[in-house]
Amino acid sequence: MFNLSGQVIIVTGAMGQLGSRFALALLERGAQVAVVDISIDTAARTARYGKQEKNPNILFVQADITSRTSLTEALQMIGTHWDAPSGLINAAALDSPPNAPAEENGPFETYPSASWDKVMKVNVKGTMLCCQVFGGAMAEAGRGSIVNICSTYGLVSPDQRLYDYRRAKGVPFYKPVSYSASKSALVNLTKYLATYWAGQGVRVNTLTLGGVFNGQDPEFLAEYCARVPMGRMADEDDYNGAVIFLLSNAASYMTGSNLVIDGGWTAW
């Protein structure tokens, strides 16, 4: 049921922390994986993929997901190596990191509109374009599965109290609005496409994730983990099983759904 042998699966943002783990997990299940990212340099590729870098079932494709032309060229490149795609994981996304410029992590009232536009362009427009180009090819072939990667902050508001420790030090830090708004948009994009392509054999689901360990400040980790019923952030491989499930025949009757894996964050 969970066999992905022979499936051609595209992973956007696959040079990132989670995207690369998804790609490696899919390779282990026998899939042919197209690693799509805006930047793929040799050192980063080796660091993320190690020995799998030379695997004949992996293809590195540099593409800008905010450009339909770039995505069309990526699809053509993938098509010269393998069959039409049968799976797509939209993992590429932008967020404002803790070390972003002060204005990006300041109060909502002064949040820069340029920062809003930048995040929306990648997280919403980019995902929509990937669905148009790659998902459209799946619909034409009459089969496929799309997984849109969402966040708990697309379902509930960020808990700004997590950053009280920074504000106590005189740093006016707030989790910005654009990431939350962009991720919530994907929930409805998923439902729209699930109904739109249901008759053409393309399933579309959202996978909503909680936070992942990635060298965060100890003070932040303590605050975050105290709010998770399971008492910890996710390890970077904790979501692989869900990705495999959603792309496989095990989820053959599942579309338009949102699978939440967050250690219980949204349960209380």
pLDDT tens for each residue of 34-44: 999 999 999 99
Written as six digits, the tokens of 138 are 């799946």
Which residue type sits at 117? Answer: D
Cβ–Cβ contacts within 10 Å for residue 103, how many? 13
* Extended beta strands in the chain, E state: 8-12, 32-37, 58-62, 87-90, 144-151, 202-209, 258-261
Task: Please state the rounded mean pLDDT for residues 176-199.
Answer: 97
Q: Which pLDDT score is estimated for 146?
A: 98
SS3 helix, strand, coil % of the chain, rounded to 5?
50, 15, 35
pLDDT of res. 98 = 66
Q: Give yes or no for a contact between 240 and 22, defined as CB atoms under 8 angstroms apart.
A: yes
- pTM exceeds cut of 0.75: yes
Residue 140 CB partners (closer than 8 Å, separation 6+): 84
Choosing among 1.20.1250.20, 3.40.50.720, 2.40.170.20, 1.10.3720.10, the CATH entry for 8-253 is 3.40.50.720
